[in-house]
Structure 1
Amino acid sequence: MSQWILLRGLTREARHWGAFDAALVAHGLVGAGERAACIDLPGNGVEHAHAAPLSVIEMMDFVRERAMSLNVRMPCRVLAMSLGAMVATAWAERHPDEIERLVLINTSMRPFARVTERLRPAAWPMLARIATGWTRPDRCEALIHTLTCNRDDTRDADIAHWADLRRTHGASAANALRQLAAAARFRAGRDAPRCPVLLLSSAADRLVDPACSTRIAKQWRASHSVHPWAGHDLPHDDANWTCEAIAAWLDAHERTRDIRVANP
């Protein structure tokens, strides 16, 4: 089984995955005794001391080097969210032999989406409040939770935990702006990556219009599944649905491959 790499998005880090790695194991997506490799983008988490590059391509080079240093088996599978999905796309486009499968969650990228789809106008006032409250961890994380999560039963615990992460390894305001600039500038190819791609999106995403994923999937003729109520942070809101969608997609590809082998 190929190894999974997990990439988070804007200013988020590996520890924001929470118990998602356990869900991967429970659904058989990660083998017994193995773990997915959670790699932080430069400027986030354990890499918070690094200046975030102003280009997604440079972020990709950084992540790729980290994967090599961790001895990740190639070709690997990459599951990535938002800005991380742009990094994963750049990797698959430039080093296709290293990526076996690609799962992109609630992402957006040129030339498939307009500015008002990539960041919904209704979210702009809250993003401004997040920016002005960047040095106030609890307030900032409460706003981020409201904007990105539709599951509320763990809200208080989430905010307390995320605020602690911000106090220890939080991304700086400067790195947040640099990552946002890199995301805005990134342009993917109109042709699909060589590996199979699955798009997952949330119908109730308040940050990014799910039309972005729909358009990418249509252009690339890629598989696409839509969650009916989750927010932008789909793995947080419904880890089981996310894993079930990935497992079903992988099973479908395996069946198709078996049919092709049996009927060359």
Structure 2
Amino acid sequence: MHWILLRGLTREHAHWGDFPSCLREAFPDYQFHTVDLPGTGVHYRENSPSTVTAIREKVSRQVSHIPGPFSILALSMGGMVALDWAQHAPEGQIQNLVLINTSSGFSPPWQRMRPGAWPRVLRLLGRRELFDRERDILRLTSNREIPLSLAKQWYSIQRQRPVSPRNALNQLTAAARYKPGEKRPLPDALVLASRGDRIVHWRCSAALEERWQWTMKLHPDAGHDLPLDDPEWIIQQLRNWLPR
């Protein structure tokens, strides 16, 4: 089985760190593909659309070479793209859907972006000193101690493949406007959330669980970047859920 991995707002494949390798080691029968949203990563020179649907259309064309059916694991805004994809895919194209710390128009704005996060996010988008900005993004999205080496790594990623302010704004606009359709795209999906998420309230994930009777698991203390804070916890939830 082929898995598509999608990251969140202004982030790219390199921000997964060792997580894809951990997945490949835990599930050697599966193939995992890290795919960048338009305007980020290998596509950083492209313009990002300002709607989730248009982003999803570009991403689906990027993976047309991967044989289906496939599964999707997605974080934050990537989860919105994945959910929109699942709702528009031909029947049977998407086998499994795993959404991590995502949100949607089913939740109120103050849960989709917690009030305390707005000033910090806006300051980050306008900050010119690149190293400090990437370190502060880590401090906001992770609840663990941030090694200097990791901050330097994220700084290097942004130096090599910078996300333009326009693309960051377009992605933020797309995420803020996104509301899924009413139809349940799959009989079950795995919804993972962090109680310690300081950006998106975990009740946004609970809203998807309650609406469509999906499976939800709540991490007690990790931050928004759950794959960074506790990758083994995610892998254990996958082990428990996939044999269903």
> What TM bracket, shorter-length normalisation?
over 0.9
TM-score, reference length from structure 2: 0.96
Aligned twin of 1:223: 215
Could you say what secondary structure the match of 1:36 adopts?
A: strand
Does the Cα contact within 8 Å between 1:100 and 1:196 map onto a contact in 2? no
Letter in 1 for 2:58: F
Contact 2:188 2:213 in 1 (8 A): no
CA distance in 1, matches of 2:136, 2:147: 11
* Residue pairs, 1:79-158, within 5 angstroms: 79-95=73-89, 96-110=91-105, 112-133=106-127, 135-152=128-145, 154-158=146-150
Structure 1 residues 198-213: aligned runs within 5 Å: 198-213=190-205
- Between Structure 1 and Structure 2, whose CA radius of gyration is higher? 1
Tell me, in whole angstroms, the C-alpha distance in 2 between the residues paired with 1:39 and 1:114. 29
- 5+ residue gaps in structure 1? 254-264
**Matched residues in 1 for 2:224 and 2:177: separation?**
21
SS in 1 for 2:180: coil
Give the AA of the match of 1:101. N
Cα offset, 1:233, TM superposition: 0.3
**Counterpart Cα distance in 2 of 1:67 and 1:210:** 30
Q: Is the 8 A contact 1:92 1:195 kept in 2?
A: no
- Aligned partners of 2:187 and 2:214 also within 8 Å: no
Structure 2 unaligned regions, length at least 5: none
Question: Secondary structure of the residue that 2:92 maps to in structure 1?
Answer: helix
Equivalent of 2:237, from 238, 241, 245?
245
Return the offset for 1:195.
5.0
Q: CA deviation at 1:186?
A: 1.3
SS at match of 1:54: coil
RMSD: 1.2
Report deviation, 1:25: 2.0
Which secondary structure state, in structure 2, belongs to the residue aligned with residue 52 of structure 1?
Answer: coil
Question: May I ask how many residue pairs the two structures share in their alignment?
Answer: 243
Q: Secondary structure at the match of 1:4?
A: strand
Instruction: Please state if 1:236 is matched with 2:228.
Output: yes
In terms of fraction of residues, the more helix-rich structure is 1
| 1:20 match | 19
Residue 72 of structure 2 aligns with an amino acid whose one-letter code is V
Cα shift at 1:190: 2.7
Residue in 1 that maps onto 2:32: 36
CA displacement 1:1-57 (0-9 Å, x = unmatched): x111000010000010110012112322x42xx641111000001100111001111
Task: Tell me how far apart the structure 1 counterparts of residues 103 and 147 of structure 2 sit (CA, whole Å).
Answer: 26
**Which whole-Å CA distance do the structure 2 matches of 1:97 and 1:178 have between them?**
31
SS at structure 2 position matched to 1:101? strand
Q: Distance in 2 between matches of 1:117 and 1:20?
A: 27
